[in-house]
């Protein structure tokens, strides 16, 4: 049995760190959603996260000796719109209309769409092994979601918004692979977050929704800081490093681990039950991730 070299191990460390950061997302957003609207929280967390990463992004670009062109800015604007305005807004709405554990599962369907988009956009072959891992993990996710029996707190509209967020996030992940080697994950994150939050601000103003309301509330401020710096800033940085080192398809496997973390935390913090189908689904997901990491010696990836 072999799991590859140190370079391979490094790839999966970035994937694991992404899963750990994103695994707390739904819990924090569920709590933060009590003080902020969906658009408002999306605007605030990406603005703060983008500004926090800005000095690191500028330093990284200088280190790479790379100057952003008009084409680069156009690309950054595109992924800002796809990721923040579409995907993360729909995701926040899904969190507010579903239980945190189901919202975590729905966004975790995005690797299926990432693999499809990456095949055409990022020139990543959709291999037999990827198809098998995808089938295994999706089986686990369907078991966890249990669409045949919606638990109390879940809604059909929330599920549809969650799936929409997942499709858009898969597209964003595949798109990111095309320019991340040149621009770098830090700059791509920071600039797209800031531009995306500006677009969210315009929408907030047009809809006459609150922008800074409740920002200083003692129960809301810690949650806002956490989702902005840890989930958004650190989480997306790790995700971009995973894409850069492991490819868009492999990086998205973080979303097969993330529901496990989210559900355990939801059970402890929000008292959301872990049923038999959730336990079985988690076991199947772990099996799929293990198979993805396993690389027999002298075996080609077909």
pTM of the model: 0.76
At residue 248 the predicted structure's pLDDT band, cuts being 50, 70 and 90, is low
Confidence of residue 14 (pLDDT cuts 50, 70, 90): confident
Domain boundaries, the chain: 6-293
Q: Write out pLDDT tens, residues 164-197.
A: 998 898 888 888 877 777 788 788 889 999 999 9
pLDDT (tens digit per residue) in 62-82: 988 888 889 989 999 999 999
Half-sphere exposure of 180 toward its Cβ, with a 13 Å CA cutoff?
A: 24
**DSSP string covering the chain:** -----HHHHHHHHHHHHHHHHHHTHHHHHHHHTTTS-HHHHHHHHHHHHHHHHHHHHHHHHHHHT----HHHHHHHHHHHIIIIIIIIHHHHHHHHHS-HHHHHHHHTTHHHHHHHHHHHHS-----HHHHHHHHHHHHHHHHHH-TTSPPTT--HHHHHHHHHHHHHHHHHHHHHHHHHHHH-HHHHHHHHHHHHHHHHHHHHHHTT--SSTTTT-TTTHHHHHHIIIIIIIIHHHHHHHHHHHH-HHHHTTHHHHHHHHHHHHHHHHS-----HHHHHHHHHHHHHHHHHH---TT----
């Amino acid at each position: 049995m072999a799991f590859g070299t140190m370079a391979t191990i490094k790839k999966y460390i970035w994937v694991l760190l992404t899963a750990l950061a994103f695994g707390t997302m739904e819990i924090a957003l569920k709590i933060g959603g009590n003080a902020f609207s969906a658009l408002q929280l999306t605007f605030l967390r990406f603005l703060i996260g983008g500004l926090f990463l800005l000095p690191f992004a500028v330093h990284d670009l200088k280190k790479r000796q790379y100057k952003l062109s008009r084409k680069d800015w156009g690309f950054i604007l595109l992924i800002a719109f796809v990721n923040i305005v579409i995907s993360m807004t729909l995701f926040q709405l899904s969190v507010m209309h579903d239980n945190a554990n189901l919202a975590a599962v729905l966004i975790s369907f995005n690797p299926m769409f990432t693999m499809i988009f990456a095949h055409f956009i990022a020139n990543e072959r959709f291999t037999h092994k990827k198809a098998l891992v995808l089938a295994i993990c999706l089986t686990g996710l369907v078991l966890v979601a249990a669409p045949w029996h919606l638990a109390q707190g879940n809604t059909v509209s929330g599920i549809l918004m969650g799936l929409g967020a997942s499709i858009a996030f898969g597209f964003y992940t595949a798109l990111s692979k095309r320019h991340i080697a040149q621009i770098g994950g830090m700059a791509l994150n920071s600039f797209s977050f800031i531009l995306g939050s500006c677009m969210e601000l315009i929408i907030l103003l047009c809809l006459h929704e609150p922008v800074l309301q409740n920002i200083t509330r003692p129960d809301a401020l810690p949650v806002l800081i956490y989702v902005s710096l840890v989930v958004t800033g650190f989480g997306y940085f790790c995700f971009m490093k995973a894409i850069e080192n492991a490819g868009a398809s492999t990086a998205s496997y973080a979303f097969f681990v993330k529901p496990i973390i989210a559900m355990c935390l939801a059970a402890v913090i929000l008292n959301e039950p872990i049923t038999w189908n959730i336990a079985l689904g988690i076991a199947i997901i772990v099996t799929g991730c293990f198979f993805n990491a396993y690389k027999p010696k002298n075996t080609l990836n077909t």
